[in-house]
Amino acid sequence: MAEVTINNSPIHSDSIITALYGETGASWSGIHTGSDFAPYGSTPANPDLYSVCTGVVVDKITYTGTQALGNQIVIQDLVTGYYWRYCHMTNPTPLNIGDNVYTSTKVGVMGATGNVTGIHLHLEYSSVSYWDTTRTKFFNPLTELGIPNQRGTIVHYDGSTPPTPPTPTEKTKKKGWKWQIWHRCKYL
């Protein structure tokens, strides 16, 4: 069985890949447009979900009983410009459109809203922010995350790498400078 350790896993503990991008079958009306992650080992049944990138929230969808993908959040990856969509979350995301996210940012809780067989994360990676009904603008999320494209792969989270800190704002910088002026050497 394949195993991998990454520092930008959507689950900050162990998870397992239960379905692959591009699969076809009775479960889907076209290709499976994302990769499925489920809890593994000592991970709780409904683990928190985290951003896999430094990015910005560009869309959020609240499940009303009809959306196949349940509660969703869409994050634009500021490195690649592409979009990550988290689906089937227990509740609507606590984040808002325009919020900045980092790999330390909780984006929601893994759930089973929408068309599912049970609790899991359906994670999509697309070149467009909307859900492409032609299913031609999706890419394999596992490739982007460096996870082997194999069912049953165990994904470990390496939390030893600190997340990228937010860029200080001008206001913060000025405040710091003010104190640097007053605290200085004397009688040298």
Residue 12 or 122 having the CB closest to Zn ion: 122
Q: Which residue is nearest to Zn ion (CB)?
A: 122
Residue 32 or 60 having the CB closest to Zn ion: 32
Amino acid at position 48, single letter: D
Residue 55 or 114 having the CB closest to Zn ion: 114
Can you tell me whether residue 131 is helix, strand or coil?
coil
Site for Zn ion in 33-92 (CB under 5 A): 34, 36
When asked if residue 12 is in the footprint of Zn ion (CB under 5 A), the reply is no
Site for Zn ion in 24-43 (CB under 5 A): 34, 36
Question: Which phi and psi (to 5°) does residue 145 adopt?
Answer: -90, -5
d(CA 74, CA 38): 19
Tokens of 114: 């929408």
Can you tell me whether residue 71 is helix, strand or coil?
strand
Binding-site ranges for Zn ion (CB under 5 A): 34, 36, 122
